[in-house]
Amino acid sequence: MCEIGQRYSFRNPMVRADPEAFVPVLRAGVDPAAAVRCIAAIDIQSDGAGAAAWHTRRLAWPGELFNRDDPLVLAHHDHFEQLESA
């Protein structure tokens, strides 16, 4: 069983068995040297057909890395932090 926010290698058998249940920390096309980190989840009301009014959809998970110019970062800048440079 996984805890929310727990990290697993993409090689983990659990991840390979159900990849849709996991969120990559580093999204495709994101340069880790110029990325920002999500520090608070971003949810929106679900717009799926037949979705209940209270149903939400998660757009960003804490710990995920995004490009600084990503539209989600620009719209919700208070949900992101700069990465510490080494």
Asked if residue 47 is part of any domain, the answer here is yes
The continuous run of DSSP H or E covering 75 comes out as helix 71-75
Summarised one tens digit per residue, pLDDT across range 6-49 is: 778 889 998 899 887 787 777 788 988 889 999 998 988 777 77
Asked if residue 3 is part of any domain, the answer here is no
Domain range enclosing 57 = 24-82
Q: Is the pTM here over 0.75, yes or no? A: no
Number of domains making up the chain: 1
Position 84 pLDDT exceeds 90: no
Dihedral, 61, 64, 66, 68 alpha carbons, nearest 10: 90
